[in-house]
């Protein structure tokens, strides 16, 4: 039924065609779901600096740098050592944690997502002092502060905030400056994240900012839940 | 008669053609509306190019970075209507980082100087600031049409300025924009002397619209044809609006829910029954089913119905749809289920476009019975169906075969299986053959989105058959570079290609580098394109901007073999951007350029 492509490019033949769906799932798996956060101490750095001393790129998407991308080589074998270790490192897509971390899927417009909730807009911008970019998160996707902190960590993969809500503060080991997680509420006031029950926070939060604590003189002190 | 044309006679006829009066040519060209035809006209010869330069009034720019305002202004003397698109399509799903670009202000500032007679501006996926809106209000005396589609960056203050200053405004259409609420009453800024409004679409604004101001506006604008209010306009006030504008052709309601009160119901029913010209109905947020029958009188005349925000369930949907025999376009949530789609197929034989959106996109197993069967019913039952967007959770090759065989007239087919890499649930295999059937049978297919379990085989089918395909969207598909190579080498009409999370890499791109100059743009995120390949492309192809968009910091700080996060390649005559943010590098030759303005 299918005509042969005009160019018979021998470099592309064979192994790719025999790729089984199962292997495809694993080789190009979803984000790394294994919770192998080696660091327990809190670290912070602007994006672009990785944790590893070797300067390897962040593993946000689970791609291994060891995959062979040699342009002049012949067949890119599916079963090269790089790919195999990839398969081990990236478990199958059925892992529930992996699902939760799949960013921006399915492709539904933000406005459409927000409209499905009768309590209004829940897309909030997240900014990090010193970083040149913003992200948006949909607070409806999370059910707790812990859940949110995991997502933020995935997005700003250069720092760890897992233990934030226990320790209360983040520190950048490079220059010693401290950061706090703050949010702007519907009244326009900047408050510390974590003071109020999650549901109330999710409804009242308009914007989130990781700000240097040197700039937080006007942040309200911890108040009892509203 | 077989006359041999001698060189002498050919030369004579060429001379005669040059003396064709310019005024006549201008007049003839004024009948040519289509942008691509006008573009072709301008390439016939220098004289025609010159004439087109002087008399072209409408211009479409598909990528704001493919050309600069200065180049446009240098070429065209007097543009009255301009349409510009900014960010790539994947920005709709937040896959393009915030702050990437597509700023409208520089364009508007340049246009204000060069084309003070500009009347119409249509912007899509651009960042439009309040300052930009103020400039429109201030500089264009005869401004008539403002359409902002999927734009952001402005607030109700900017809208207030437009309202207060654009005396000749006919159309204000905000389609799915993000508008910051600064309070105030922007609608109230239309002066009392202002009467020219014909179309107002503010459905995307989340903040309250002052109803009294809206009502007064409708009272003094006799030519209102289209009105789409937002969800803050309550149902019991809708009747008032309809009474003020009974000649509406396009209506977008607000909230369609209030407690059931007979006098409210009756007033609404009467108001709707008097609106004999409504052809398009949308809005319908939070529908109270008991109020639905008030719209039945207008249903038989409807050609377009957008229920994609309406929380109506299947039984009420079915009742509604049986009244809409002339429907051509339906947007609806998956509440319609397979049985509702069967009713649609039986009732609406003129249906051309169907979009089914997911009510709970993140729920693994919602209690909704919408499968591939629903789409098959519509494809089989609606002979004029051309355009499909369908979110569902299961699919089979057999269903796709049936759709393809029955609907060879499909031009747009976008299927989104919510679980990535979902296999054919009957065979447990890939959906290659099903999609292959689609491209083989639907010879006029212009737009295609694939999902589910897909291997390289489908791309071979696409490269072989999809000769009219202009836009292709891929996610979690394919097995290797071969897939991308098939597409780039086979799809002759391809203009836009957008890809995420596919194992496509360097080889296919570099081999098909020349193809990229024949396309508007290529977007790839979370694929396997190395920084080295990006540099190679940037070096080989000076008329392409190769943008590496990477939030991990400068690509130079990582190995050349490291895959880039996002890659956006587009053809341009304007050179590298001058407004890139800190996470975008335009790659040229051996280094990555970042804007000096950073």
What single string gives the DSSP state of each residue in B490-515? H-TT--EEEEES---BHHHHHHTHHH
DSSP assigned state of B275:
-
Average pLDDT over residues B558-583: 94
Share the mean pLDDT of chain B: 93
Give the nearest chain B residue to A108 (CA atoms): B93
Residue of chain A minimizing CA distance to B480: A16
Chain B partners of A28 at a C-beta cutoff of 8 Å?
476, 501-503
What pLDDT score does A112 carry? 75
**Neighbouring C-beta atoms of residue B30, cutoff 10 Å:** 11
Confidence of residue A175 (pLDDT cuts 50, 70, 90): low
The Cα of A69 is separated from the nearest Cα of chain B by a number of Å equal to: 7
- The partner residue sitting opposite B583, judged by closest CB among A3, A71, A133, is A133
Query: What distance in Å separates residue A33's CA from the closest CA in chain B?
Result: 16
Cross-chain residue pair B481–A67, CB shorter than 8 Å: no
Subunit contact A12:B528, Cβ cutoff 8 A: no
Check A69 against B475: CB less than 8 A apart.
no
Two structure tokens written together for B309: 């925000």
List all residues of chain A from 14 to 43 with a beta carbon under 8 Å from chain B.
Answer: 16-17, 19, 21, 24-25, 27-28, 30
Using CA atoms, how far apart are residues B487 and B483, in angstroms rounded to an integer? 7
Q: Which of B20-24, B61-65, B521-525, B573-577 has the lowest mean pLDDT?
A: B20-24
Residue B384 — pLDDT band, cuts 50, 70, 90? Answer: very high
- B429-478 per-position pLDDT tens digit: 999 999 999 999 999 999 999 999 999 999 999 999 999 999 999 999 99
pLDDT confidence of residue B528: 95
- Show Cβ contacts of residue B152 under 8 Å, excluding neighbours closer than 6 positions: B127, B128, B177, B178, B179
For residue A73, pLDDT over 70 is answered with no
* E strand intervals along B308-453: 329-333, 353-357, 387-392, 412-417, 447-449
H helical segments located in chain A: 21-27, 81-89, 96-100, 110-115, 145-155, 164-167, 198-204
* Residues B476 and B421: beta-carbon distance below 8 Å: yes
Give pLDDT tens digits for B126-175. Answer: 999 999 999 999 999 999 999 999 999 999 999 999 999 999 999 999 99
A13 min Cα distance to partner chain B (Å):
8
Q: Percent of chain B scored above 90 by pLDDT?
A: 86
Higher pLDDT, B237 or A163: B237
pLDDT for res A170: 55
| Cβ proximity of B328 and B352 under 8 Å | yes
Q: At what angle do helices B46-55 and B35-42 cross, to 10 degrees?
A: 140
| Top-ranked range on mean pLDDT: pick from A120-124, A140-144, B590-594 | A140-144
Least confident of A23-37, A147-161, B463-477, B507-521: A23-37
B3–chain A nearest CA distance, Å: 40
Closest in A7, A65, A112 to B562, CB measured: A65
For A12, the closest chain B residue by CA position comes to B482
Cα atoms found within 13 Å of the Cα of residue B154, Cβ hemisphere only: 32
**Res B441: pLDDT:** 98
State the pLDDT at residue B22: 83
Query: Taking the CB of residue A59, how many other CB atoms lie within 10 A of it?
Result: 18
CA distance B499 to B484: 10
* Residues B82-126: tens digit of each pLDDT: 999 999 999 999 899 989 999 999 999 999 999 999 999 999 999
Position B334 scores a pLDDT of 95
Kind plus residue range of the DSSP H or E element containing B239:
helix B235-244
Structure confidence at residue B79 (pLDDT): 96
* Whether residue A86 has pLDDT greater than 80: no
Closest CA to B480 of A19, A64, A151: A19
Residue with tokens 């009732």: B347
Query: What pLDDT, on a 0 to 100 scale, did the predictor assign at position A117?
Result: 54
CB within 8 Å of B541: residues ≥ 6 apart: B513, B514, B516, B517
The answer for residues whose C-beta is within 8 angstroms of residue B316's C-beta and 6 or more apart is B287, B289, B292
* Average pLDDT value for chain A: 54
Residue of B476, B499, B502, B597 to mutate when probing chain A, most A C-beta within 10 A: B476
With beta carbons under 8 A apart, name residues in chain A contacting B598: 132
pTM over 0.95: no
**B482-496 pLDDT per residue, tens:** 999 999 999 999 999
Going by pLDDT thresholds of 50, 70 and 90, the confidence category of residue A25 is: very low
**8 Å CB contact between B249 and B279:** yes
CA within 13 Å, CB half, A53: 0
Q: Residue A35 has what pLDDT?
A: 33
Q: A33, A98 in Cβ contact below 8 A?
A: yes
**Contact by Cβ (8 Å): B217, B229:** no
**CB A107 to CB B475 under 8 A?**
yes
SS3 label, residue B379: helix
Using pLDDT thresholds of 50, 70 and 90, give the confidence band for residue A223.
very low
Q: Is residue A153 exposed (0-12), middle (13-18) or buried (19+ Cβ within 10 Å)?
A: middle
CB proximity list for B238: less than 8 A, separation 6 or greater: B253, B254, B268, B271
**E-strand stretches of B62-142:** 81-85, 120-124
Identify all chain B residues contacting A92, using CB atoms and an 8 Å cutoff. Answer: none
**A111 CA to chain B: closest CA distance, Å?**
7
pLDDT tens-place string over residues B313-350 = 999 999 999 999 999 999 999 999 999 999 999 999 99
- Which pLDDT value is given to residue A174? 53
Structure-block tokens of residue A122: 């829940």
Contact B51, B28 (CB under 8 A): no
Residue B564 has pLDDT above 50, yes or no: yes
E strands present in B432-495: 447-449, 471-475
Nearest CA-CA partner of B388 in B326, B442, B462, B323: B442
Q: Is residue A40 pLDDT above 50, yes or no?
A: no
Q: Rounded mean pLDDT of A201-208? A: 84
Contact B154, B174 (CB under 8 A): no
pLDDT tens for each residue of B349-373: 999 999 999 998 888 788 889 999 9
A215 in contact with chain B, both atoms CB, cutoff 8 A:
no
Under an 8 A CB cutoff, do B309 and A27 touch?
A: no
């Amino acid at each position: 039924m299918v005509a042969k492509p005009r160019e018979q490019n021998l470099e592309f033949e064979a192994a790719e065609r025999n790729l089984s769906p199962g292997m495809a799932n694993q080789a190009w798996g979803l984000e790394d779901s294994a919770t192998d956060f080696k660091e327990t101490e809190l670290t912070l750095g602007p994006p672009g600096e990785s944790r590893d001393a070797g300067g390897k790129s962040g593993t946000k998407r689970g791609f291994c740098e060891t995959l062979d991308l040699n342009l002049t080589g012949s067949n890119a074998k599916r079963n090269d050592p790089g790919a195999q270790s990839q398969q081990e490192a990236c478990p199958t897509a059925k892992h529930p944690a992996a699902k939760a971390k799949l960013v921006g899927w399915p492709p539904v417009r933000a406005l459409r997502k927000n409209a499905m909730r009768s309590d209004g807009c829940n897309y909030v911008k997240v900014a990090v002092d010193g970083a040149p970019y913003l992200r948006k998160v949909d607070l409806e996707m999370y059910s707790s502060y812990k859940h949110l902190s995991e997502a933020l960590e995935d997005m700003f993969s250069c720092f760890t905030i897992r233990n934030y809500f226990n320790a209360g503060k983040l520190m950048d080991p490079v220059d010693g400056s401290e950061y706090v997680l703050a949010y702007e509420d519907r009244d326009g006031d900047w408050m510390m994240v974590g003071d109020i029950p999650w549901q109330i926070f999710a409804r009242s939060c308009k914007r989130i900012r990781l700000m240097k604590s040197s700039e937080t003189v006007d942040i309200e002190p911890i108040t009892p839940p509203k | 008669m077989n006359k041999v044309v001698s060189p002498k006679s050919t030369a004579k006829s060429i001379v005669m053609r040059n003396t064709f009066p310019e005024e006549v040519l201008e007049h003839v060209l004024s009948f040519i509306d289509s942008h691509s035809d006008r573009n072709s006209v301008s390439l016939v010869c220098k004289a025609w190019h010159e004439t087109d330069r002087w008399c072209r009034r409408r211009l479409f720019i598909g990528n704001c970075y493919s050309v600069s305002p200065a180049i446009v202004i240098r070429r065209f003397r007097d543009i009255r209507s301009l349409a510009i698109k900014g960010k790539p399509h994947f920005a709709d799903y937040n896959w393009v980082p915030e702050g990437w670009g597509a700023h409208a202000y520089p364009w508007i500032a340049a246009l204000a100087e060069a084309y003070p007679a500009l009347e119409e501006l249509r912007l899509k996926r651009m960042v439009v600031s309040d300052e930009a809106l103020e400039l429109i209000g201030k500089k264009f005396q005869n401004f008539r049409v403002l359409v902002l589609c999927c734009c952001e960056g402005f607030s109700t203050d900017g809208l207030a300025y437009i309202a207060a200053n654009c005396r000749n405004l006919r159309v204000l259409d905000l389609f799915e924009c993000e508008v910051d609420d600064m309070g105030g009453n922007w609608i109230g800024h239309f002066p009392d002397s202002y009467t020219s409004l014909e179309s107002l679409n503010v459905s995307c604004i989340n903040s309250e619209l002052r109803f009294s101001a809206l009502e007064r506006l409708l009272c003094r604008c006799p030519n209102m044809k289209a009105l789409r209010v937002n969800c803050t306009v309550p149902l019991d006030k809708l009747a008032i609006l309809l009474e003020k504008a009974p000649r509406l052709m396009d209506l977008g309601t607000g909230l369609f829910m209030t407690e059931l009160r007979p006098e409210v119901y009756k007033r609404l029913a009467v108001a709707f029954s008097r609106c004999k010209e409504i052809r398009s109905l949308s809005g319908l947020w939070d529908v109270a089913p008991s109020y639905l029958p008030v719209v039945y009188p207008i249903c038989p005349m409807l050609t377009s119905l957008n229920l994609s925000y309406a929380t109506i369930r299947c039984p009420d949907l079915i009742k509604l749809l049986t009244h809409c025999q002339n429907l051509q376009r339906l947007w609806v949530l998956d509440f319609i289920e397979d049985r509702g789609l069967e009713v649609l197929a039986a009732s609406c034989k003129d249906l051309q476009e169907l979009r089914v959106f997911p009510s709970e996109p993140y729920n693994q197993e919602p209690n909704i019975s919408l499968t591939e069967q629903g789409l098959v019913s519509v494809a089989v039952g609606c002979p004029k169906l051309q355009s499909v967007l369908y979110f569902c959770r299961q699919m089979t090759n057999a269903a796709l075969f049936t759709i393809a065989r029955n609907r060879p007239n499909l031009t747009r087919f976008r299927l989104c299986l919510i679980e990535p890499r979902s296999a054919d649930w009957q065979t447990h295999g890939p959906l290659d053959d099903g999609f292959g059937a689609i491209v083989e049978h639907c010879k006029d297919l212009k737009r295609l989105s694939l999902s589910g379990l897909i291997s390289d085989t489908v791309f071979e089918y696409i490269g072989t058959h999809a000769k009219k395909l202009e836009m292709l969207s891929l996610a979690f598909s394919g097995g290797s570079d071969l897939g991308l190579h098939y597409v780039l080498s086979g799809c002759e009409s391809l203009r836009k290609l957008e890809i995420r999370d596919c194992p496509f890499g360097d080889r296919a791109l570099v081999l098909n580098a020349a193809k990229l100059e024949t396309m508007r743009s290529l977007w790839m995120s979370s694929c396997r394109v190395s920084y080295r390949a990006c540099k190679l492309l940037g070096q080989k192809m000076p008329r392409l901007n190769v943008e590496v968009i990477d939030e991990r910091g400068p690509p130079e700080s990582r190995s050349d073999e490291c895959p880039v996060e996002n890659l956006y390649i587009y053809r341009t005559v304007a050179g590298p951007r001058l407004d890139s943010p800190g996470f975008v590098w335009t790659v040229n030759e051996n280094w990555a350029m970042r804007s000096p303005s950073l």
